[in-house]
Amino acid sequence: MDKETAEKLYHSCYMKVYSYVMTLAKNEDSASEITQETFFRAMSTKQTFRGESECYSWLCAIAKNIFIDGTRKASRNQGELDENYADSSTDIEQSTIDSETSFRIHMLLHEMEEPYKEVFSLRVFGELSFAQIGKIFGKTENWARVTYHRARLKLKERMESHEI
């Protein structure tokens, strides 16, 4: 992978991959370390992206494998292995990896009322900070944070009622 392509990939996907890893690791330091290792492996291995899926999905697969490997190593040290840990932490960001699920989530999001729909989209897809979102709406950062979390809860409820 050439340097320019690697930089574009890093800048376009870093926050998405980091968010996904946070759902697995539930720890900022671990998530940051795993995300960095993910991009290092993606950019330094001879095996390249084959284009069979989205770059984000490919990177998340690498990240999940790194997380599982780390969990296995830690479990060996503690004497117990919990291979199902990564699979038990389902979240909206993780669910979007599957394209069919992603489409169904987008349909539910499209039906959501404003400002929840726009705040959620700006945060997840636009990767904007809460301060930036608050500024767009002429509100505070806290307003944006609360609105995002309410939107997320509404979307989760809708996903559960539609069995997504």
Instruction: Give the pLDDT confidence of 13-31 residue by residue, as tens digits.
Output: 889 888 888 888 888 889 8
SS3 content of the chain, % helix, strand, coil (to 5): 75, 0, 25
End residue of a domain, out of 88, 123, 153: 88
- For tokens 């919990």, what's the residue? 82
Q: Which domain holds residue 139?
A: 98-161
113 shares a domain with 73:
no
In a domain, 93, yes or no: no
Identity at 59, one-letter amino acid code: L
68 shares a domain with 8:
yes
Q: Check residue 34 and give its pLDDT.
A: 92
Looking at the 3D structure of the chain, how many domains does it have? 2
pLDDT at residue 80 above 50? no
Average pLDDT over residues 33-53: 75
Least trusted range by pLDDT, from 38-47, 89-98, 102-111, 135-144: 89-98
Average pLDDT over residues 130-159: 90
Average pLDDT over residues 103-112: 80
In a domain, 67, yes or no: yes
Query: Residue 45 sits in a domain of what CATH number?
Result: 1.10.1740
57 shares a domain with 84:
yes
Share of the chain above pLDDT 90, in %: 12
Q: Check residue 140 and give its pLDDT.
A: 93
103 shares a domain with 80:
no
Q: Rounded to the nearest 10 degrees, how much is the dihedral formed by the CA atoms of 61, 63, 64, 66?
A: 120
In a domain, 66, yes or no: yes
Q: Rounded to the nearest 10 degrees, how much is the dihedral formed by the CA atoms of 87, 93, 95, 98?
A: -110
